[in-house]
Every structure is written in C-alpha cells, then in structure tokens.
Amino acid sequence: MQRSIRRLEPETASRIAAGEVIERPLSALKEIVENSLDAGARSIEIRIEGSLDHAFQVADDGVGIAADEMELALERHATSKIHALEDLERLSSLGFRGEALPSIAAVSRLAIGSRTAAADSGVRIATEAGAVRERRAVARAVGTTVEVADLFFNTPARRKFLHSTTGEQRAAMRMIESYAMAFPEVAFRVIVDGRERLHWPALGRPAEAAERDAPGLPDADARRARAAAVRGAAHAAQLIDAAGEREGVRLVALLGLPEHARASREGQIFLVNRRWIQSPLLGQALRQAYGNLLPNGRFPAATVWLDVPAARLDVNVHPTKREVRFADEDAVFVLVAGACAKVLAQLHPPFTVVQGGREPEPAWAERVRERPSNQTHLELAPRTVSAPVSPPSGATVAAVGDALGASAASAEARGAETEFWQLHRTYILAPVRGGVVIVDQHAAHERILYEETRRRLAGERGSSQQLLFPALVDLTHSQFELVNEMQPWLERLGWSFTAFGPPTVVIQGVPSDLQHEHPAQFLVDLLDGVSESSGRDASEDLIEHLARTHACHAAVRAGDPLGQEEMKALVDRLFGTTKPHGDPHGRATFVRLDLDELHRRFGRT
Ligand code: ADP
Ligand code: MG
C-alpha cells in the first residue's frame, strides 16, 4: 500500500531526531536497502563500482515514489512511514525518521529514479551535495533506483577517517547477508565491478502474507533455504531449530553446532521485527544457552529472529538504528537463553569438556616431535632425556641465565640441558643463573610462532602438507572475499586451497607443522581474527593481524600438559626469538625471581 510522504511536525521531528545517521559508507548502503525493503520490494539488486564510497546503486521493484513527491523524499524529516510519534507504537517499517536520504544526499552525488504503478513513466532527479541539479522523465519499470557516487566528497575530514574499502565491502556483505536472512521472500543480487557476487532467489510467501500471522518471523522452510544460500548447503543442513514464546515475544532461531562456533561474534545475526541489530543482551543470552558446550572465547554462530510487539520495543535509541531497547529485557533474555538451551541440551556429549581421567595429548606435542629437520629455526629436537627432577647443572643455569641478559648466549641456551617443572599446566619453571624464571607456556609459544609466521610472510615460504581428504569449508560471503584477498599470504604460510564456487572453499593443504584437528575451523578462526581487528587495508596491517591470529590459535594453551622435552624446546625457542620478553600483544612471556630475593625471604642473608 502506498502512503504519501509528509513532513513531520517540528515537535515530532525533534523527538525522533538522531545524531550521525551516515557515519560510514556502510550506513548509506544499509539505509537505502532498508528503504527498498520498506517499499515491499521482492527483488533488490545492489551494484558496487570500485568501492562503496566511489559509487553504488540499489534498484528495487517496490511501490516507488510518486513523481510529485520525489523532492520531498530528499527533505529532512519527510517520511511516508509515520505521521506522529504514536505511530512508533505500531511501527512495521525499518525507517521512520525521514533522515537517511537527505543525510546521504548532503555528502554525495545522489540520484533517484522511480515510478509508481499509477504512473506511465518515471522521474529521475540528480543532486549534488543535497541540491537538485536535474529532473527529467524516464522510462522505467515500477520501483526505485538510488544511485550514490562520491560519498563524502565534500567532507574531506570525514573521508580521512574512512575504514578500508575492502573492510567496508566485507561489512556490507555481512549487512546484506543479515537482511537476506531477515527477508527470505526477497531476492538479493549483488554485482561488484560488473561481476555477479551473489544471487539469492526469493523464497516462501510474499511479505504481506507472512505479515498477518507473525510479522517478524519468516517461515521455517524459507529460513532454512535462505540459510543454505547464504551459508552453504552443508552448513545449513546441520543448523538446529529453536522456537519459543514468552509474554507476547516470539522467537525462532537457527543455531550452529558447537563446532561452528567462531572466535568472534561475526557468525551471529540478530533480527528484531526483521531489523538487523546488535545487542549485547541477546549475545549473552545466546552464549548462556550454549553453556559448557563451548570453551571461553568462542562465540556461537546463530541467527535469531524475534517478533516483539512494536509498543514494547523502542527503535528510536540510536542514530543508525542498530540498537533497540526492549521494554522487558529480562523476559527477552530468558526466552532466548531458555529456548536455545532446550534444543542444545539434546546435543551430547558436550564436545569440549574433558572430565577427569587421562587427558588427550596436546596437538603441540606431536608437532614438536615430528618437525622436519630441514627447518633450522625449529630444530631444537630433544637429545637426552634426563631424570624428571634433579638439581640443575651449573652449565645450564649459566647458559639460560645469559640468554636472558644477552642474546649472544642464546645459541648456547638452546642446546642446554635443563629440567623444568610445569606448574598448573600453565607455567614452566626454569632455573637460571642467579634465580629462576617462570614462563607462561601460551604466551611463550605465541611469541615463537608469531616470529616464525612473520618470517614466512616475508617470503620464507613454509612447507605445506597435502590433506589426504581435502576439506570443504562453507564461508560467509565476507569471509570468502577475505580469503581470496589473503590467498598469497596464506599460501606463504603453507595453506593451499581453491574456490569451489562462492562461498565454498576446498582446503587441499595446510602448513606442515599445523597439527590442528580441524583445519577448516582453524582457517575460519584466522579469517575472523583478521577481519575483527583490521579496519584499514594497509597490507602491513593485514599481515600483522594474520601473524598474530595464526600464532594465537596455533599456540599451546594454558591447561595443556607438556612433557619434559616439549617444555625444554619451548623455553629454548623462546630465548631464540628476537623479543623473548613479551608475546605479540605485549603480555609478559616470563617472570624472573632472583635468588637474592629468595634468600632474603628465607632469612639467608
Ligand atoms: P524514512 O525511511 O525514515 O522514511 P528516508 O529518508 O530513508 O526516510 O526516505 C524518505 C522517504 O522516501 C521514505 O519515507 C519513502 O517514502 C521514500 N523512499 C525512499 N526510498 C524509497 C524506495 N526505495 N521505494 C519507495 N519509496 C522510497
Ligand atoms: Mg529510510
């Protein structure tokens, strides 16, 4: 149904006004896509030329804009979606402030072409920095096309703070994936530089039909079919359905298995009344539902749809509308945590928790033993195995002690024979001249792997081991972009893979020293680590984050039991690095206790 655009009363406008609506190129694209969805489009086509801030356009087959309202659409606080404040209490659209188009137009060259079903032809107006430069009649189908070029061209200060173009494009893909999950009945097509990146056909019932029984909840078949398009068929087939209702709030969700969990929140999509939002509350509720199915630091992958009566939801809390406030947060938390936990409880056994008994060998132990001897910087293989606990020899104490003070002695230290104790499976106790050092096994291993990874990324190509059975990984589209972008570097680390057709990648080979049980999961963690932390596209930044993430995920963990030889190799290798004192994040790798200090404490002066 077409409603006309009207200016909000100043009183209303002042109560819903936001701050910075268009903070980055992604926000411009998001607002325009939301407009197409509000217009009832069944098909949305997004074209990007170069980068989002260079040029993009969004074409839809929605209701269109009447010829005599085109200019009004670009006026601040002119909207067809609400007329008074009370309308927010029954809001069913994503937009409501009438601020997006004028905000985008003010900082770009924006054109809108549109035609309604009642008109024989359309109108296209072109603007620059908000001023209309041209208006003409055009022949076109019913619907709207918005073109945005040279975003922020007249605000150079803002341009300077833009995220990288590739980072922005990845974020855009995530936004599109999220809205595709919210609206399975809408077809999405994305074309970048003339090349089709994705095309997801419309599924299920049209919006109006779905609207009647549960406005915010697409039906089960459509949900799963869309998940298959977005995440890959193999992944989608394993997703677990959850559903529930509490105090008028309804929930459906598709939950990833524990092994789909990620090192970041990137696998989570929260949709409230079909609005793509971020919410610590929902994140925590979801995490709680997984309980000890996941170790610390892992985030479940899931899509959660909530249908909340509009009167019990405040959508006017954030300029970009990415946050909402629930009237009853507790009810929402209990609903999400409870409904998801209920279905997850059927998964057993919990796969990460090791209860008593013999613990598995750490992956790292294998890696040390089977290291190929042609990799000289790793060649610290054990020679003799000495009695577990005996007084340290003077030579060892001297050698390691020197290594701490002067790197010249580190070569000697590497060959040293020493006994070490592992404390609480976290620290290694090593006697040194004049005292003792306590090494943090994870931090130390991270430092070692980090330097090794940096060397390989700088050109010292690591060897690859072919997988007996190539591993298929379903990536998200943004991960797929990233993995292609990083391919040359990943290959230097020893990865070899080929694109199997987006978004699936086939891993054929992994770094030869990688003993990770799930190379596919490791690769996804790497991608998460890189995309989480890098905003800018300087390749140095990518390399740095790749090295850090690689090191962090491949390193032995606190809690991993280590044998004598592994501890020895670890300490030796640590003191063979260029900066043994800290891990790549700046955390200490060891603490030194002086003998003097011990003597003093025992009253031996
Ligand atoms: P809001 O979405 O908050 O109303 P916008 O500035 O985004 O504000 O859009 C202003 C108005 O322009 C909308 O209310 C709508 O009437 C019209 N409009 C914008 N985009 C479209 C579109 N793709 N199809 C139909 N109408 C649109
Ligand atoms: Mg809008």
For residue 396, the model assigns a pLDDT of 33
Q: Does residue 530 line the site of ligand 1, with CB under 6 A?
A: no
Question: Which residues have C-beta under 5 Å from ligand 2, the single-atom ion?
Answer: 35, 95, 100
Type of residue found at 202:
A
Q: Does residue 144 line the site of ligand 1, with CB under 6 A?
A: yes
B/e letters for 44-69, b = 16+ CB within 10 Å, e = fewer, are bbbbbeebbbebbbbbbbbbbbbbeb
E strand or H helix at 7: strand 6-7
Tell me the pLDDT tens digit for each residue of 228-252: 999 888 788 889 999 999 999 999 9
Nearest CA to ligand 1 atom 17: 73
Three-state DSSP state, 496: strand
Between the CA of 91 and the centroid of ligand 1 the distance, in Å, is 15
Give the global pTM. 0.69
Between the CA of 251 and the centroid of ligand 2 the distance, in Å, is 26
- With a cut of 80, say whether residue 542 has pLDDT above it: no
Band of residue 186 on the pLDDT scale cut at 50, 70, 90: very high
Nearest CA to ligand 1 atom 16: 80
Q: Does residue 143 line the site of ligand 1, with CB under 6 A?
A: no
CA distance 557 to 365: 12
Residue 545's contacts (CB-CB under 8 Å, 6 or more residues apart) are 529, 530, 533, 534
**Structural contact between residues 176 and 33, judged by C-beta atoms closer than 8 angstroms:** yes
Residue 428's contacts (CB-CB under 8 Å, 6 or more residues apart) are 420, 421, 422, 438, 439, 441, 444, 562, 567, 570, 571
Residue 402 or residue 571, greater confidence: 571
Q: Does residue 476 line the site of ligand 1, with CB under 6 A?
A: no
Ligand 1: which of 60, 77, 79 to mutate, judged by most atoms within 8 Å of the beta carbon?
Answer: 79
Ligand 1: which of 5, 35, 116 to mutate, judged by most atoms within 8 Å of the beta carbon?
Answer: 35
Nearest CA to ligand 1 atom 23: 36
Give the number of the ligand closest to the Cα of residue 18. 1
Strands 435-440 and 590-594 turn out to be: antiparallel
Q: Does residue 65 line the site of ligand 1, with CB under 6 A?
A: yes
Of ligand 1's listed atoms, the one at least distance from the Cα of 79 is: 14
Q: Does residue 57 line the site of ligand 1, with CB under 6 A?
A: no
Q: Does residue 22 line the site of ligand 1, with CB under 6 A?
A: no
Tell me the pLDDT tens digit for each residue of 498-508: 988 778 899 99
Three-state DSSP state, 304: strand
Type of residue found at 577:
T
Instruction: Output the six-digit token pair for 556.
Output: 């032995």
Which residue carries 């938390």 as its tokens?
Answer: 333
Between the CA of 180 and the centroid of ligand 2 the distance, in Å, is 17
Between the CA of 96 and the centroid of ligand 1 the distance, in Å, is 9
Give me the percent of the chain exceeding a pLDDT of 90.
Answer: 47
145: left (phi over 0), alpha (psi -120 to 50) or beta: beta
Between the CA of 68 and the centroid of ligand 1 the distance, in Å, is 14
CA distance 456 to 475: 25
E strand or H helix at 207: helix 207-213
- Lowest-confidence region among 29-38, 181-190, 448-457: 448-457
Instruction: Output the six-digit token pair for 547.
Output: 């090295």
Between the CA of 102 and the centroid of ligand 2 the distance, in Å, is 10
CA distance 45 to 22: 21
- Choose among 85, 83, 84, 79: nearest CA to 101: 79
For residue 99, the model assigns a pLDDT of 95
Nearest CA to ligand 1 atom 8: 98
Separation of CA 84 from chain center: 38
- With a cut of 60, say whether residue 375 has pLDDT above it: no
For residue 373, the model assigns a pLDDT of 29
- With a cut of 60, say whether residue 124 has pLDDT above it: yes
